Structure 1
Amino acid sequence: MIAEPAEIQCVLGLDVSCNTVTLFDSCTGRCLTIANEADALRTALQPYQGTATLAVCEATGGHEDTLLGVLLELAIPAHRADPAKVNAYIKSFGKHAKNDPIDTRWLRSYGGDRVATLARWQPAEPCQQKLELLVARRLDLVAMRVQEQNRLKAPRSSLIADNIQAHLAEINRHIDALNQQIDALIAESRSMVLRAEALRSVPGIGQVLVPLLLAVMPELGSLNRRQIASLAGVAPHPKDSGKASWHRSTIGGRRQIRPALFIAALAACRGATPLAIAYKAMLKRGKPKRLALTALMRKIITIANARVRDALRQKNEIMPISA
């Protein structure tokens, strides 16, 4: 049985590296270093199974996967913290010293202070994990292609033009292969097929943006319009203080989404669609183009969120109820 936030009595700080995991126990004050291997971690964490314990570690790009898998196996609730938030928390105390034992104590303190609000880590579906990896790799290759194209246009590039063009051809082959893998992966999951169909019905969202949204924003359909706009980085945040009031700005959000939504907004503002009509109406009212496009980006993601939500609800309504 997993303890509720109010029942948590012990917080474990776990600093993860490639080869080791440093553990600090808030109840006993014990600090130890464990090999980052399933058997060693299982042995060290076994005593906490069934206790009112919360484990807190940072996202480390995958080195924490073994640890989280063992915690899930032992039914110990865990929180995978955002390193930026943990660093901001540490800086708020004016501290700068850093090593593995110190980091574990800060993770323990961070978890203890926020135990009631920290989201418990849940593993993503295998299909979702694969999609995230494929889409991330595709983004890397597209960025690499842009770099090579810029090098090809540069002055004095004639000597290496053949080499660049050969590399571009190879990158394009890899991107095409990834596109096929992504399409096949989406087709394997009924839930992803439903969400993809809902996203394609939104003006401006094309074949490239659909897998990106599925991979980077799996929360689509489960949040309200304000939350989803903030997650996409297109929500206007106030900047007021006393009598001073500045223009609201859009900051934060997931960095991969805004550039793709901008392209979607450019596509949606053309033609006679409702989004294009809304965009032209904003321009007639004197809104700057940049502001109108940002508003269009926000409309696109909120419409996408609503249509995915409706598609998932319809799926649940038509599912047969077992006796």
Structure 2
Amino acid sequence: MGPGLHVVDAFLMEGQTPAGPRGPGRSSRSCRSGGPPAFLGPGTNGREGSSPVCNPVLAPDPTKMREVGMSGKHVIGIDVGKSWLDVAVEGCERVRRHGNDAASIAALIEQFDPAEDIVVFERTGGWERNLEAALADKMIPWAVVHSQRVKAFRQVRGIKAKTDRIDARLLRDYGRDRLGELRLGRREDVTLDCLMARQRQLKAMRHAEACRLATAPLDAVRSSIEDVIVHLDKALAAIAVELARHEDEHPDLAFKEEVLCHQIGVAEQTARGLLALLPELGGLGCKEITSLGGLAPRVHESGSIRKRRGLAPGRTSIKVVLFNPARTAMRFDPQIKEFCSRLRARGKPGKVIMVAVMRKMLVRLNAQLRDAIAKAPAAAAAR
């Protein structure tokens, strides 16, 4: 892509004209034009006295959506599917479809400008991983937004129809509307998450094979299972080497891991798991971080109704990571032991106490990491 050529210009070079007031290809205005609209108003169909366009996603972009904005970022919404990507560029109503494969993603990303563009998309069961990795390699800013918030945004705008193209436009508009609140992804977080996920998978497979070995009735079956276990042990060792190398290449992760390990019950594996699953740790308040971790109590009260409180949905894997550290802290951390004693005296069940301890540990770890980064930002970046 030549200098000064933007992704919207690339769209136009391929013969795709921007959407005018009466649909794609009906307007001669440039997608990036900042002047007054060629039609009578953003809420009409191009004729004086006509009714507004019913679906705001299908209507022409408002002026504010065509402008780059204060942050200088041009928002691109991508709806990720198993086989393709639907791409909605800010300022151009036409949605393009690309294949969700390495070659197609590489061709698409070549049109993006790291200095001007920001890509917004949702998690889609892992099908977004290739796109995320490619964006990280090219140093293009991206943000993964929460699907429930996008759904609420859809409801607020009164959009009933649902297609891949509408979803791409909705992600683009959501990114523009929440531009100052988006949390940009980081390449080191993506790599750590992938390595830790693979390590969990290998450990689960090894555990399953070890259980089968204990009950294997035939020598041939036992030999086969032992061969698989040996292979899995080698794979786990290779992952451990990759994790150590990744930590050496990113001193800030090593610094965060060292801070987290000061908590009783938290060791290297737990710290890495938390940083992989919860990269926001240390950057949010206690309510936000516990809600993300799925450890925030959800209140349901209305009038005289007082329902039993339960856990709010979140990243359920956090509870798996914190379970054994919480058990250790309940035995050896004096403050946690006293906290558990108070809960038992109030008649709280054991599972409620366990969840309360996990929540307290997550809040404490978040505060410790936040304070450590605030006190020694230079050390966090240099170590």
TM range, smaller chain: 0.7 to 0.9
Structure with higher helix content: 1
State the Cα distance separating 1:72 from its structure 2 match: 6.1
SS state at 2:268 partner: coil
Q: Which moved more, 1:159-168 or 1:298-307?
A: 159-168
Q: Which moved more, 1:285-294 or 1:78-87?
A: 78-87
What's the TM-score once normalised by structure 1's chain length? 0.77
Report percent identity of matched pairs: 23
Other-structure match for 2:184: 122
Pick aligned residue for 1:218 from 251, 256, 279: 279
Other-structure match for 1:30: 94
Are residues 157 and 234 of structure 1, via their aligned partners in 2, closer, same or farther at CA, if it must alter by over 3 Å?
A: farther
Other-structure match for 1:8: 65
SS state at 2:264 partner: coil
State the Cα distance separating 1:241 from its structure 2 match: 3.0
Aligned mates of 1:62, 1:319 — CA distance in 2:
28
Are residues 313 and 31 of structure 1, via their aligned partners in 2, closer, same or farther at CA, if it must alter by over 3 Å?
A: closer
Pick aligned residue for 1:202 from 263, 269, 278: 263
The aligned amino acid for 1:63 is N
Residue 268 in 1 paired to residue 329 in 2? Answer: yes
Q: Which runs of 5+ in 1 are unaligned?
A: 1-5, 97-101
SS state at 1:144 partner: helix
Aligned mates of 1:197, 1:27 — CA distance in 2:
46
Q: Residue deviations 1:248-286, cap 9 Å, x none?
A: 111322232111111111111113522122213322321
SS state at 1:266 partner: helix
Residue 62 in 1 paired to residue 129 in 2? Answer: yes
Residue 252 of structure 2 contacts residue 380 of structure 2 at CA under 8 Å; is this kept in 1?
no
State the Cα distance separating 1:212 from its structure 2 match: 0.7
Aligned mates of 1:70, 1:141 — CA distance in 2:
26
Q: Which moved more, 1:13-22 or 1:166-175?
A: 13-22
The aligned amino acid for 2:258 is E
The aligned amino acid for 2:65 is I
State the Cα distance separating 1:288 from its structure 2 match: 0.7
Other-structure match for 1:99: none
State the Cα distance separating 1:63 from its structure 2 match: 3.0
SS state at 1:252 partner: coil
State the Cα distance separating 1:304 from its structure 2 match: 0.8
Aligned mates of 2:76, 2:246 — CA distance in 1:
37
Residue 231 in 1 paired to residue 295 in 2? Answer: no
State the Cα distance separating 1:313 from its structure 2 match: 1.6
Q: How does 1:92-111 map to 2 (within 5 A)?
A: 95=161, 102-111=163-172
Are residues 273 and 115 of structure 1, via their aligned partners in 2, closer, same or farther at CA, if it must alter by over 3 Å?
A: same
The aligned amino acid for 1:22 is D
Q: How does 1:1-323 map to 2 (within 5 A)?
A: 7-9=64-66, 12-16=76-80, 21-24=85-88, 27-34=91-98, 36-43=104-111, 56-59=120-123, 60-65=127-132, 68=135, 79-82=143-146, 95=161, 102-112=163-173, 115-117=176-178, 119-120=181-182, 122-126=184-188, 128-154=189-215, 160-271=221-332, 273-316=334-377
Q: Residue deviations 1:19-58, cap 9 Å, x none?
A: 7543345755323334624345544x67xx96xx875433
What's the TM-score once normalised by structure 2's chain length? 0.66
Q: Could you say which structure has the larger radius of gyration?
A: 2
